[in-house]
Structure 1
Amino acid sequence: MRWAQGFIAVDWGTTNRRAYRVGRDGTVDDEMEDGKGVLSVPSGGFDAAVGEIRARLGDLPLLMAGMVGSNRGWVEAPYVPCPAGLPELAARLQWVEAERTAIVPGVCFAEGDAADVMRGEEVQILGAYGEGLVPADGIVCHPGTHNKWIRLEDGRITAFRTVMTGELFNLLKAHSILADLLALPAGVNDAFEAGVRRALDGGELTAELFSVRARVLLGKTKREDAASFTSGLLIGADLRAGLAFAGETGLVAMGRPELTALFAAAAAVAGRPTREVDGETAFLAGAIHLAELLQ
């Protein structure tokens, strides 16, 4: 019954970590967030990094998810193959300290030539299902650095596809010929919707990206609209791939609100209403449901 007395849930990614102290009644008593992602922890430094969390939030059982369980993290937690639900994750926890410190495994998908992996999103997706925030059968879009399109069947993850939209935008913004244009503010406006439509109409993404600069140079597009158009173009291409995966199923966008809003706006251009679910709420629900399976 150790976990029933309270525990700490940690979402530990590549560049950031967030930890929550969950009380006996399932409410969050305290939390912390910092930029100490797994890539910033030196070799042999995870014991101390975990100690920092307990020093801040209390000497409680610890349930961790995300890249902390990758081969770049603390202890590798092997992937659980699809189909995967909360019971499968709970059965395959990687215990660093018996009954006290555990890492949630990621989920993998392999079928024919298709292959994909995720870490962290599975806790949110299955937590949202456990709380009734998403249906047992449907498609969830999880936007982020590596956007996921995830199929749920009977409350289990059965297939998913990753699209590198966020990372591509960041690379273009930092290192490409479009960097000066992408430094300008981007938002949901007419230029964003035009980019979405261009991608949905089947435009060749790499060619369309170069034309962003050309249209500005030749006066066909306002400079201040370039970032929004590019954002719409990338998200529209992502959406086109996701809709091919989803078919006619209803869509749910889950994650950070500022990102789900962008995908919902793009989906509206495609005539596909999208319901948004907060990723933090879903992560906590998943962590609590997993902890309940340990009692």
Structure 2
Amino acid sequence: MTPTSSAAGGAIIAVDWGTTNRRAYRIDADGVVVDSVRDDRGVLAMAADDYVPAIATLRERLGDLPVIAAGMIGSTRGWREAAYVPAPADLAALARAALRIDAADVTIVPGISWADGPRADVMRGEEVQVLGAITAGLAPADALFCQPGTHNKWIAARDARIVDVTTVMTGELFALLKAHGILAGMLDGPVADGAAFREGLARGAGACDLGAALFEVRAAVLLDRRQPDDAAAYASGVLIGNDVGARDVAGNTVHLLADGTLAALYTVAIETLGGHVTPVDATTAFIAGIHHLRAHLAV
């Protein structure tokens, strides 16, 4: 359905509705953030009947405005499913496929899918950040992006369109190893850049036998070849090294949509393996993506 003209001009509420967190912004007609709300009301904390009152609460805080929401709100776990747009895709393609909920004055941005040959992949939310980074001049029209997290995304853009996506369960694997299985209880130490992390990085980058490299964490501690407090940093290095090592980063620029510890660790990994990192502020990219997308919603 065609969104109302109110979504295409004037102030709006933009929502990055993730799995565990929610970030909402009041954006004026020029794309400037006037106010914002961040909380833990991600889709895992929501039932289907929770969305209408939750959006009403956002409007009480940010203004009685049209809402454009991206991320997991449009997934099968969210409020209403917004079907994926096949890659290659740009902001105009996302706008054409956006799901309009007229009764609530809400537009849900679809994600992007990749299905070429035997490989399949999907994403929701990251596409707004990537395309927003390009439209805001934070990255060129042809670029490689990395967005670390529970599920790390590697995203390729060509001519300001997303043409490929690869999702790697790096963060989730670390969390599972830490909580369950033979390494549980051994990965409670700090994870930071240092000798142990870089040794793990070197091991993981060249490992096609990831399972063996991970079991070595336990064996090295049992045989006093590694200090117990270093096990978590080493295991993190193995996983991140294996992730980055599978990409063609040598001699290339990677636009990193991250901050904090993960950004620091991935920067070390990418640069150690011969790549160059350009940091991109994910919030700025998201705001730019929604701001430029709403112009297409006027059609």
Instruction: Report the TM-score when normalising by structure 2.
Output: 0.93
Q: Contact conserved, 2:19 with 2:44, CA < 8 A, in 1?
A: yes
CA distance in 2, matches of 1:125, 1:211: 37
- The Cα of 1:255 is off from its aligned counterpart by 2.8
- The Cα of 1:247 is off from its aligned counterpart by 7.2
Q: Contact conserved, 1:92 with 1:105, CA < 8 A, in 2?
A: yes
- The Cα of 1:189 is off from its aligned counterpart by 0.8
SS where residue 41 of structure 2 aligns?
coil
Q: Contact conserved, 1:138 with 1:249, CA < 8 A, in 2?
A: no
Partner residue of 1:159? 164
Q: Contact conserved, 2:12 with 2:66, CA < 8 A, in 1?
A: yes
Q: How does 1:166-185 map to 2 (within 5 A)?
A: 166-185=171-190
Structure 2 unaligned residues grouped into runs of 5+? none
Partner residue of 1:144? 149
- The Cα of 1:32 is off from its aligned counterpart by 0.7
CA distance in 2, matches of 1:202, 1:185: 23
> What amino acid does structure 1 have at the position aligned with 2:275?
R
Aligned partner of 2:268 among 248, 262, 265: 265
- The Cα of 1:173 is off from its aligned counterpart by 1.6
> What amino acid does structure 2 have at the position aligned with 1:31?
S
Partner residue of 1:251? 254
Q: How does 1:76-225 map to 2 (within 5 A)?
A: 76-97=81-102, 100-202=105-207, 204-225=209-230
Partner residue of 2:66? 61
> What amino acid does structure 2 have at the position aligned with 1:2?
S
Q: Contact conserved, 2:250 with 2:275, CA < 8 A, in 1?
A: no
SS where residue 127 of structure 1 aligns?
helix
CA distance in 2, matches of 1:257, 1:100: 35
CA distance in 2, matches of 1:223, 1:39: 34
Aligned partner of 2:6 among 2, 20, 26: 2
Q: How well do the aligned residues superpose, as a CA RMSD in angstroms?
A: 1.6
Deviations along 1:230-277, one digit per CA (max 9) or x if unpaired, are: 11110001102222xx67542211134432221111112112121111
Q: Contact conserved, 2:250 with 2:273, CA < 8 A, in 1?
A: no
Relative to structure 1, the CA distance from residue 152 to residue 98 in structure 2 (aligned partners, 3 Å threshold; closer, same or farther) is farther
> What amino acid does structure 2 have at the position aligned with 1:18?
R
SS where residue 180 of structure 1 aligns?
coil
Q: Contact conserved, 1:257 with 1:278, CA < 8 A, in 2?
A: no
Q: Which runs of 4+ in 1 moved over 4 A?
A: none
Aligned partner of 1:278 among 256, 277, 281: 281
CA distance in 2, matches of 1:283, 1:64: 11
Q: Percent identity?
A: 48
> What amino acid does structure 2 have at the position aligned with 1:132?
G
CA distance in 1, matches of 2:131, 2:266: 20
Relative to structure 1, the CA distance from residue 67 to residue 29 in structure 2 (aligned partners, 3 Å threshold; closer, same or farther) is same
Q: Contact conserved, 2:31 with 2:287, CA < 8 A, in 1?
A: no
CA distance in 2, matches of 1:265, 1:97: 47
> What amino acid does structure 1 have at the position aligned with 2:193?
V
SS where residue 269 of structure 2 aligns?
helix
> What amino acid does structure 2 have at the position aligned with 1:252?
H
Relative to structure 1, the CA distance from residue 24 to residue 138 in structure 2 (aligned partners, 3 Å threshold; closer, same or farther) is closer
CA distance in 1, matches of 2:98, 2:283: 21
Deviations along 1:28-59, one digit per CA (max 9) or x if unpaired, are: 11111111111211232211122121122111
- The Cα of 1:5 is off from its aligned counterpart by 1.6
Structure 1 unaligned residues grouped into runs of 5+? none
Moved more, 22-31 or 12-21: 22-31
- The Cα of 1:194 is off from its aligned counterpart by 0.8
Relative to structure 1, the CA distance from residue 247 to residue 269 in structure 2 (aligned partners, 3 Å threshold; closer, same or farther) is closer
Q: Contact conserved, 2:11 with 2:27, CA < 8 A, in 1?
A: yes
